[in-house]
Amino acid sequence: MSFTITSLGGYIHEYQKSILNPAQFWEQIAEEFFWRKRWDVALSHDFSEPRVEWFRGGKLNIVENCLDRHLFTRGDQPAIIFEPNNGTGATPEPSRTLTYRQLHSEVCRASHALARLGVQQGDRVAIYLPLIPEAIIAMLACARLGAVHSVVFGGFSPQALRERTNDCGARVLITADGAYRGEKEVALKAAADEALRGCPLVTDVLVVKRTGAEVPMMKGGPKDRRDHWWHEALASSEPTHEAVATDAEDMLFVLYTSGSTGKPKGVVHTVGGYMVYTAYTFKNVFQCRSGHGSGSSIERDIFWCTADVGWITGHSYVTYGPLLAGSTILIYEGIPTYPDPGRYWEIIDKHHVTHFYTAPTAIRALQALGNEHIEPYHLSSLRVLGSVGEPLNEDAWHWYHHHIGKERCPVVDTWWQTETGGIMIAPLAGITPTKPAHVTLPLPGVQPVIVDTNGTELVGNSVEGNLCIRFPWPGILRTTFGDHERCRQSYFSQYPGLYFTGDGAKRDENGYIRILGRVDDVINVSGHRLGTAEIENAINEHPKVLESAVVGYPHPIKGEGIYAYAIVDLTDRSADNLVREIKETVVRIIGPIARPEVVILVPGLPKTRSGKIMRRILRSLAAGDASNFGDTSTLINPEIVEQIVAAVGSMSQP
Ligand code: PRX
């Protein structure tokens, strides 16, 4: 692809072009892809509605661009290298490679299998799988049919899966018998079955055999089975398939993410803009070389992004971006510490990984486990290190740069969101000079604006405020599924004419951007977004809880931890039991990622006259600062503050 930037001067030039004439700039990038029909209008938008359309009138299939387009030039090149959970030790399961040709055949077969179940263009399909090649095949099979995938992270609870499946109106679910996670075997099918008891629209389930666990295969209506084995359905399908031509603005996927309210939002991305944006950002940020096809003497990089396909990073930089660019991706099913904390470094050594893209939480956790786990392995294949999902603090940045990158590899700290579709602010590897804890400069096409709370733009350098984006880029979300007004309210209403990110940011004296974290009621735990209201709703499900309030607090590994205050009825329960039960309730309702670190039982919560909880106080206390709560004169119950302080002091901390 000829749109790769190769120098700082080139970046500045492209950036200026993209601001002077954004539509023309992105049209030039879009020309590089295969369109069944060219678009009529490059860009049409109005942020007040909001309405954003890129490449209107264009017809294409994104999978044709990910796979078919590469078959002649790189059919025999690895597309996916799969490293299983149990890929090391005495009896390792071998890793598995799928070439572009093999991946194409599998996707075609899966498309036929879905079509036989009645899946048509525009239908939604829920995917609840571990990080195995079938997860990527399933996503691409949907997209090939013009169907809409909604991937739900395999660590989410049955209830969370049920809510998401129902919200997007999925008719088919793709899951697996089980999943391997470190030493554990997760009963995924059992969780899916439980979820489906409340999903009347789902008529068919495709089940991937992963662990071989005994699972019941259920019957559906009088004529059909509800559950079908994936391998059987694919075995009886043709390895070729005519991709459906979709409109550029047709939905590609729905991905649920947490916001300020209790209910997760189904962020919607569409085909054309997302394709152009993920491919462009992948190529330029990571500077990944994809060789010139099979047998090429030009070096081919191995790109390993550790994200699960249940998150946006797994959509944009495990699946679509790298495949659009014809790269080779590595996916790993397991956890960083199984069977020992050297596992990531062993995988890099074993597969000669050149690009490693992970989250600050993983970096900090591995740093804390000690450098002796790195020593046995050669990391000399590495060329680029990436980070995403939360602020990468200076200490972790230096450790990553020094111990993993051996001071040879640029660290690209990439800021973006589920809603932005792709990377927005980040250095270009080896091109943009980096600065620890700074995400540096916007990518071409991205116009960041820092505003104060009144919405006044803070121009120039050395300013701090709320981060907004001024102009649409091709990867911007188009709506929130089934509730367009919510999209407007959440992102386009605070500062008219701007997209509001929900993050605070600082521009330093040289114009480099540093992300300060969320300024709304969203907590970022280990790079996973959770709404405080969502966790409170879950806590309130416990019959003994009268009311609760959840805040984030600084956590040395996870970035932020979950700190909950609950007003409870203590009759017939001990405090210790209640704390444990409350934590379990949250795990049951949302999943283990939302388990509160701390639960404090309190007699009341600090409230203003209008009944609003004064979270500032709760946040200070959670951060260990009981000395300064600021102005509390508007509290209706100021005496409660001392009682909460006492409760915090008396309860044992983890
Ligand atoms: O607060 C920012 C943080 O993660 C949020 C987006 O979360 P999500 O939609 O789950 O997507 C995560 C993966 C793209 C942002 O609003 N965030 C993401 N990247 C960074 C970051 N904070 C600081 N530095 C980053 N590089």
Tens digit of each residue's pLDDT (9 = 90 or more) over 497-525: 999 999 999 999 999 999 999 999 999 99
Cis peptide before 339 (omega within 30 of 0): yes
Which of 309, 417, 432, 480 to mutate to test ligand 1, by most ligand atoms within 8 A of the CB atom? 417
pLDDT of residue 486: 97
Does residue 439 line the site of ligand 1, with CB under 6 A? Answer: yes
**Alpha carbon 416 to its chain's center:** 10
pLDDT tens profile 147-206: 999 999 999 999 999 999 999 999 999 999 999 999 999 999 999 999 999 999 999 999
pLDDT tens profile 443-489: 999 999 999 999 999 999 999 999 999 999 999 999 999 999 999 99
Kindly give the distance from the C-alpha atom of residue 318 to the centroid of ligand 1, in angstroms, as a whole number. 16
pLDDT value at 299 more than 90? no
User: Is the CB of residue 347 less than 8 Å from the CB of residue 353?
Assistant: yes
DSSP code per residue over 566-606:
EEE--TTS-HHHHHHHHHHHHHHHT-GGG--SEEEEES---
Q: How confident is the model at residue 653 (pLDDT cuts 50, 70, 90)?
A: low
Does residue 388 line the site of ligand 1, with CB under 6 A? Answer: yes
pLDDT value at 221 more than 70? no
Residue 636 identity (one-letter amino acid): I
Which of 306, 361, 394, 503 to mutate to test ligand 1, by most ligand atoms within 8 A of the CB atom? 503
E strand or H helix at 522: strand 522-525
Q: How far apart are the first and last CA of the chain?
A: 51
Kindly give the distance from the C-alpha atom of residue 417 to the centroid of ligand 1, in angstroms, as a whole number. 5
User: Cα separation of 98 and 80, whole Å?
Assistant: 5
Q: What is the pTM of this model?
A: 0.96
Residue nearest to atom 5 of ligand 1 (CA): 417
Residue nearest to atom 8 of ligand 1 (CA): 417
Is the Cα dihedral 254, 243, 134, 298 positive or negative?
Answer: negative
Closest to 274 (Cα-Cα) out of 477, 442, 506: 477
Is 190 in a helix, a strand, or coil? helix
pLDDT of residue 223: 54
Which of 151, 416, 424, 469 to mutate to test ligand 1, by most ligand atoms within 8 A of the CB atom? 416
Q: Which atom of ligand 1 is nearest to the CA of 418?
A: 9
Kindly give the distance from the C-alpha atom of residue 524 to the centroid of ligand 1, in angstroms, as a whole number. 8
Residue nearest to atom 21 of ligand 1 (CA): 390
Which of 254, 420, 529, 593 to mutate to test ligand 1, by most ligand atoms within 8 A of the CB atom? 529
DSSP code per residue over 111-131:
HHHHHHTT--TT-EEEEE--S
E strand or H helix at 141: helix 133-145
Q: What are phi and psi of 41, to 5 degrees?
A: -130, 125
pLDDT of residue 108: 98
- Geometric angle at alpha carbon 418, from 417 and 420, rounded to 5°: 65
Closest to 56 (Cα-Cα) out of 332, 247, 268: 247
pLDDT of residue 295: 53
pLDDT of residue 290: 82
User: Cα separation of 484 and 44, whole Å?
Assistant: 18
Retrieve residue 557's tokens: 């590994």
Residue nearest to atom 15 of ligand 1 (CA): 417
Total count of residues recorded for the chain: 654
DSSP code per residue over 21-89:
-HHHHHHHHHTTS--SB--SEEEEEETTTTEEEEEET-EE-HHHHHTGGGHHHHTTSEEEEEE-TT-SS
Closest to 587 (Cα-Cα) out of 175, 170, 132, 191: 191
- Geometric angle at alpha carbon 109, from 108 and 112, rounded to 5°: 90
pLDDT tens profile 122-150: 999 999 999 999 999 999 999 999 999 99
pLDDT value at 222 more than 70? no
> Looking only at Cα atoms, what is the longest distance across the chain?
75
Q: Tally the C-alpha atoms within 13 A of residue 259's C-alpha that lie toward its C-beta.
A: 18
Q: How confident is the model at residue 219 (pLDDT cuts 50, 70, 90)?
A: confident
Q: What is the mean pLDDT of residues 572-598?
A: 95
Does residue 317 line the site of ligand 1, with CB under 6 A? Answer: no
CA torsion angle for 412, 416, 421, 426 (degrees, to 10)? -30
Kindly give the distance from the C-alpha atom of residue 104 to the centroid of ligand 1, in angstroms, as a whole number. 32
Does residue 390 line the site of ligand 1, with CB under 6 A? Answer: yes
